[in-house]
Amino acid sequence: MKFRGKIVDVACLNHFSRVVTTISKLTKMCVLRLTPDNLFFVLSGKVGNGGVSMWCELSQANFFDEYQMEGVSSEDNEICLEVTPENISRALKTVQNAKAVKVKLTKKHCPCLTVIAELPTLSSINRVVTHDVPVDVIPQRLWHEFKEPDMPDFDVSIYLPPLKTMKNVVDRMKNLSNFLVIEANLNGEMNLKIETDLVSVTTHFKDLGNPPWGDDASQDAGPSQSRDPDTMAEARVDIRRLQQFLMGQQVTPSRAMCNIVHQRVLHLILLHEDVSLQYFIPAVA
Amino acid sequence: MHCVVTGGNVKVLAKAIHSLSRIGDELYVEPQEDGLALRSVNSSRSAYACFLFAPLFFSRYSVPNRNNFRCKMAIKSVQAVFRSLASLEKTVEKCHIELDEQKNRLTFTLHCKHGLLKTHNLSFQDSESLQAVFDKDSCSNVFRAQPRLLVDTVMHFPPSLEEVTVSVSDERMWVRNHVEEEAEQSKAMLTELCLASDEFDHFAIQAHSSVTFCLKELRGLLVFAESTGLPVSIYFDEPGSPVVLSVTDSVLEGNFVLATLTDDPGLRKNSSRRGHTQPPPPPDDFMNDDMDSYLIAMDTSIVPGPSTAGPPTPPLAGSTCSKRPVATNHRTRIHSEEEEEGEEEGDSEKAEDSDRPPNKKFRSLFFGSVLPPSSQMNTQPVVSQEVLASDSEDDSQDE
């Protein structure tokens, strides 16, 4: 198992560190999967983390100037590590002005993801800072837990309003209730609702548009195509999870959408050039 | 006492008080012939800081009629006088510091723009002089750097980090975070920064050594150094003897004396069992017989000294002789980028050092109520070292 990547471009470094920071806001621990072409940050839905799961996919070529990896074997050319994204985020943040940053898998006192940065100085010798972020290597027999989640058989898919607007609404609602109902239809309408004994609040969004899922989601085409465009599909979710998702946004996505499986799951998707982030929040009764 | 501070110097004074507040809860004020001394020490007496403002720093400076007046007060209340640093610079034109002997009050009067006058009457307690015993000029390793370099270095470490280890070779300085236990080490993120000697204004190494000290106080000094733009000098010897950070210009001098860790886990384990038992005060020739020195002395006896001779004193450390094997296979992270190398080197060195009493925490600094400051400062280290070493000897008998 070997891994070594090098980032020279400041914009790439900045972008990468924002992606990692976004991840760190969503979860304390996650799995980093390295393949020859991609990096994945994965959180599989376990009870411990409130049943949420996450899948973030980056194409290495868009971030790294050099990227070498050697997986466990030539058939399974992958490396799977459990990491604390916050540590990586912190390491990257302190080296924003570096001339070059190397990320390596190293064996120190324990397996580490080592971030080495050459910092600019006035002297002839560069200042070098090394951050050793301890990681756990995940054995191959557990890899199956970290495969890409299937696209859920959603009832409604809809584009999200500007995340900032949504965040402001959700932040206010959080003061009133612990749960939020998100509902949407195929007519481009979405509502955020809270209901308590004392108060019911609903925020209506309209003309959001529904993404065409033609070929990709062909197997799902059945239910959503024949669906009455005005019928709402809804999911009641833990408001903190949704808030966490909206709060942590460091990447301004070019596309933000969500899929709702009626009373089952809320599936949020952010697309930004080469990065895609999917976040699943289970619905509660 | 009556001092008048004007213009930009008000901010300098305020920054000094702010950085002293990072050290301890009390501010010791002592108007001396050679200037106004402001000092502070932390509760475990492992960090001490002193600013001396020369008479020229003030537009008027007079020492009290009653000679050797000294007092201490809660540093928070003094900080409150200079609360808003930002507006201070713009609004305050001068600051009077006066001692009202009748009422036993120290009065800070801020003369602000538009004739606004702010008066703070602070009560104080009498105190003995607080003086750490250190001799930075005898330190084998001396560095001087612009505050920016150190600020940029410290920035890489998380705010929650307590201690850093600084190691030096002929041409490099390494700064890394200190992680206490092996177990924690596997979880903690380790950060290491390497600085080349030519980034420093001055870089003089006599001994390749490695010391661990608290980051908080260094950050405190950097607040001051950065705002005044004064270069910071660093003096240190070997693990266990204090590191001195200092800033100087023509009208002021600031010294921060920080205890360093004895990087000796084998022995450290041993002392943790003993918990925080306060060792008895050392014999009377150590210090003057007043309250402050008594407290200080209690702490000081944790300090191991290199010498093994001296009068027997009560228990501290049984460990030292018997635990020698432990000490030889311990982990040392001493002066090296190659850890393996460091370990070997460290071991051979440490075999001798294991004669020292065990140490869980920082060695405290030597303090005294220095009535005749100069003479005592010179003699004290020797005396105390003897005393301390004897502590450990006695201990082994005890167990």
A192-240 pLDDT per residue, tens: 999 999 999 999 999 999 988 765 544 444 455 578 888 999 999 999 9
Sign of CA dihedral B122, B128, B134, B135: positive
pLDDT beyond 70 at B333? no
Confidence band of B371 (pLDDT split at 50, 70, 90): very low
Q: For residue A131, give the nearest of B185, B189, B339 by CB distance.
A: B189
A223, A224, A225, A228 alpha-carbon torsion, rounded to 10°: 100
Name the residue range of residue B19's domain.
2-131
Contact B198/A87, CB-based, under 8 Å? no
Phi, psi of A106 (to 5 degrees): -130, 160
Residue A220's pLDDT is 47
Confidence band of B365 (pLDDT split at 50, 70, 90): low
Confidence band of B263 (pLDDT split at 50, 70, 90): low
Quick check: B338 contacting A, CB < 8 Å? no
**Which residues of B, range 114-153, sit inside 8 Å of A by Cβ?**
152
In chain A the domains, ranked by start, together with CATH numbers, are 2-146 (3.70.10.10), 156-263 (3.70.10.10)
Quick check: B192 contacting A, CB < 8 Å? yes
**B384 within a domain of the structure (yes/no):** no
Residue B41's pLDDT is 92
Average confidence (pLDDT) over B58-69 = 80
pLDDT beyond 90 at A272? no
Express each pLDDT in B196-229 by its tens digit.
Answer: 988 999 999 998 989 999 999 999 999 999 999 9
Q: For residue A127, give the nearest of B187, B191, B199 by CB distance.
A: B199
Average confidence (pLDDT) over B184-204 = 86
Which residue is closest to A129 within chain B, CA to CA?
Answer: B193
Q: For residue B185, give the nearest of A87, A91, A109 by CB distance.
A: A109
Cβ-Cβ contacts under 8 Å between A and B: the total is 60
What ipTM was predicted for this assembly? 0.80
**B87 within a domain of the structure (yes/no):** yes
* Higher local confidence (pLDDT), A32 or B338: A32
Q: How many domains does chain B have?
A: 1
Distance CA B40, CA B255 (A): 11
**B82 within a domain of the structure (yes/no):** yes
Beta bridge partners of B120: B108
Q: For residue A134, give the nearest of B189, B195, B198 by CB distance.
A: B189
Residue B281's pLDDT is 34
Confidence band of B302 (pLDDT split at 50, 70, 90): very low
Helix A85-93 / helix A10-26 crossing angle, nearest 10 deg: 150
**B174 within a domain of the structure (yes/no):** no
**B38 within a domain of the structure (yes/no):** yes
Residue of A268, A267, A271, A239 lying closest to A254 (CA atoms): A271
Its pTM stands at 0.72
pLDDT beyond 50 at A86? yes
Quick check: A92 contacting B, CB < 8 Å? no
Confidence band of B15 (pLDDT split at 50, 70, 90): very high
Of all residues in chain A, what percent carry a pLDDT higher than 90?
59
Express each pLDDT in A109-119 by its tens digit.
Answer: 788 999 999 98
Residue B70's pLDDT is 85
Residue A102's pLDDT is 93
CATH number at residue B105: 3.70.10.10
**B287 within a domain of the structure (yes/no):** no
Average confidence (pLDDT) over B57-85 = 85
Contact A90/B189, CB-based, under 8 Å? yes
Residue of B205, B214, B218, B206 lying closest to B254 (CA atoms): B218
pLDDT beyond 60 at A87? yes
Quick check: A91 contacting B, CB < 8 Å? yes
Contact B190/A121, CB-based, under 8 Å? no
Distance CA A52, CA A265 (A): 10
**B294 within a domain of the structure (yes/no):** no
Quick check: B186 contacting A, CB < 8 Å? yes
CA-based end-to-end distance of chain B: 54
Do A170 and A202 touch, CB atoms closer than 8 A? no
**B224 within a domain of the structure (yes/no):** no
Express each pLDDT in B132-142 by its tens digit.
Answer: 778 888 888 99
